[in-house]
């Protein structure tokens, strides 16, 4: 150990490690501990989600109409593909396949940009229609597009609509009428406090619904922006990390005995994917 | 690089893996990478498909079960946990256990107030002109 980096023909073996396996195992333990802190970090937001959804399921049923399942599903596929390329990059590094390693790292970065591009489109649209976080929440007309059953479904939403056939009947009758909006409005008040099955229905579009209840919708977007925003920040950090890996891979730094950084970064990337696997159904697939 | 060196490099990962009881240098075969990815894509399709149907109280459990199967595939295969040191599994599944406790206890606590909350909503809506 005559110079700073220590081990002569092993330029990336730090002097405080006995050998490459010692260095690899230490790094691996480090990244797993980091991932544990990440999971606990995100868990607070999942708690906020769980509490608010259990208190106000009707808010989630209605507000998630503003999220486009198509974009959410495409982004899920983009992230899953990037997880595949990241896992493949580890294989390439382990086998010393430099060109394929560079290609898979580049593909992972491309997918990450694709994901953020789609998120940008989604966020831009939400801001455009006033579905902003916190007190900036001010939806414009038509901010909540319809999914499937026509306007009436947006007007009358049950806490647990599947257990309450009446809600569907009202919705379908109103939707078939000549003036669905007015009819649904007319029908809304008497069903608004239908206590027969213990389910409260909130006619969101009814001007008589008090603001304190309508404003609950903005909590959904607070949760949505916090969860997807924090996830997005992790994707951005992943892009930075993978560019660093790409540069090192092009310079030929990684070998079958020194590929720790590729492995550890891929683990981080898989965790980001893992969190999105839960976010997608929790935010986009509510009805 | 001589032929023998190249061979050593290609099999270096396996050779090192043999030195350890837990084989932290396991190389994922191509079929497993592609198969895992295909399974993840299919499960994504399944969760979107199942969301088209109104299954009431089963909606969330079904979606969460599918997500958990996907998560396990990612963790066990893509993240190499199936071949990694057991201690790493203890760390990660331990943290997930605590998340489960965290969410679970909060929901149990919140469940105590369901009735009063629903009554409040009814009162507020009914009190409107």
* Contact between residue A274 and residue A79 where contact means Cβ atoms under 8 Å apart: no
Predicted confidence (pLDDT) at residue B17 exceeds the cutoff of 50: no
Question: Which letter does DSSP use for residue A144 in this model?
Answer: S
Asked if the C-beta of B39 comes within 8 angstroms of chain A's C-beta atoms, the answer is no
* Contact between residue A235 and residue A116 where contact means Cβ atoms under 8 Å apart: yes
Region B8-33: mean pLDDT is 61
Nearest CA in chain A to B28: A91
Q: How far apart are CA A13 and CA B43, in angstroms?
A: 41
3-class state of residue B17 by DSSP? helix
Question: Partners of A255 in the beta sheet?
Answer: A258
Distance from B99 to chain A by nearest Cα, in Å? 6
Going by C-alpha positions, the residue among A215, A197, A165 that lies closest to residue A59 is A215
ipTM surpasses cut 0.85 = no
* pTM for the whole structure: 0.79
Nearest CA in chain B to A192: B125
Question: Which letter does DSSP use for residue A255 in this model?
Answer: B
Distance from B78 to chain A by nearest Cα, in Å? 6
Going residue by residue through chain A (287 aa), what tens digit of pLDDT does each one get?
Answer: 444 555 667 888 888 888 888 899 999 999 999 999 999 999 999 999 999 998 888 888 888 888 999 999 999 999 999 999 999 999 999 999 999 999 999 999 999 999 999 999 999 998 888 888 888 887 777 777 765 443 333 333 333 334 444 444 443 433 333 333 333 443 344 344 433 333 455 677 677 777 777 788 888 999 999 999 999 999 999 999 999 999 999 999 999 999 999 999 999 999 999 999 999 999 999 87
Q: How far apart are CA A116 and CA A112, in angstroms?
A: 6
Structure-token match 């580049």, residue found: A106
In chain A, DSSP finds a helix count (H) and a strand count (E) of 10, 0
Nearest CA in chain A to B113: A55
In this prediction, what percent of chain A has a pLDDT beyond 90?
52
Asked if the C-beta of A255 comes within 8 angstroms of chain B's C-beta atoms, the answer is yes
Asked if the C-beta of A192 comes within 8 angstroms of chain B's C-beta atoms, the answer is yes
CB–CB contact B106 A47 (8 Å): yes
* Contact between residue A146 and residue A154 where contact means Cβ atoms under 8 Å apart: yes
Length of chain A counted residue by residue = 287
CA A185 to chain centre: 34
């Amino acid at each position: 150990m005559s110079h700073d980096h220590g081990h002569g023909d092993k330029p990336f073996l730090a002097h405080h490690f006995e050998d490459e396996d010692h260095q690899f195992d230490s790094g691996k333990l480090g990244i797993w501990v980091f991932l544990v802190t990440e999971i606990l970090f995100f868990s607070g937001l999942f708690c906020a989600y769980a509490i608010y959804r259990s208190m106000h399921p009707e808010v989630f049923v209605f507000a998630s109409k503003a999220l486009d399942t198509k974009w959410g599903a495409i982004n899920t596929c983009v992230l899953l593909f990037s997880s595949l390329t990241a896992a493949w990059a580890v294989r390439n590094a382990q086998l010393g396949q430099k060109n394929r390693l560079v290609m898979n790292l580049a593909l992972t970065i491309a997918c990450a940009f694709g994901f953020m591009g789609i998120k940008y489109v989604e966020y831009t649209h939400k801001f455009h229609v006033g579905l902003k976080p916190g007190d900036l929440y001010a939806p414009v007309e038509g901010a909540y597009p319809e999914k499937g059953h026509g306007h009436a479904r947006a007007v009358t939403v049950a806490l647990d609509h599947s257990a309450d056939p009446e809600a569907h009947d009202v919705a379908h009758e109103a939707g078939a009428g000549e003036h669905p909006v007015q009819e649904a409005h007319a029908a809304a008040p008497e069903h608004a406090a239908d206590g027969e099955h213990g389910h409260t229905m909130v006619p969101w579009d009814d001007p008589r619904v008090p603001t304190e209840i309508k404003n609950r919708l903005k909590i959904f977007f607070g949760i949505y922006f916090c969860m997807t925003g924090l996830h997005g920040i992790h994707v951005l950090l992943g892009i930075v990390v993978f560019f660093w890996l790409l540069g090192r891979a092009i310079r030929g730094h990684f070998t079958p005995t020194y590929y720790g950084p590729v492995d550890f970064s891929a683990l981080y990337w898989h965790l980001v994917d893992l969190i999105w696997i839960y976010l997608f159904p929790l935010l986009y697939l509510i009805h | 690089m001589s032929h023998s060196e190249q061979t050593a490099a290609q099999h270096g990962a396996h050779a090192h893996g043999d030195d350890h009881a837990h084989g932290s240098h396991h190389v994922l075969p191509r079929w497993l990478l592609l198969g895992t990815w295909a399974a993840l894509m299919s499960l994504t399709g399944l969760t979107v498909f199942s969301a088209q149907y109104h299954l009431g109280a089963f909606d969330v459990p079904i979606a969460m079960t599918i997500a958990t199967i996907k998560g396990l595939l990612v963790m066990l295969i893509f993240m190499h946990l199936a071949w990694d040191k057991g201690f790493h599994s203890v760390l990660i599944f331990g943290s997930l256990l605590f998340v489960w406790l965290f969410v679970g206890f909060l929901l149990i606590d919140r469940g105590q107030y369901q009735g009063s909350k629903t009554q409040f909503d009814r009162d507020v809506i009914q009190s409107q002109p």
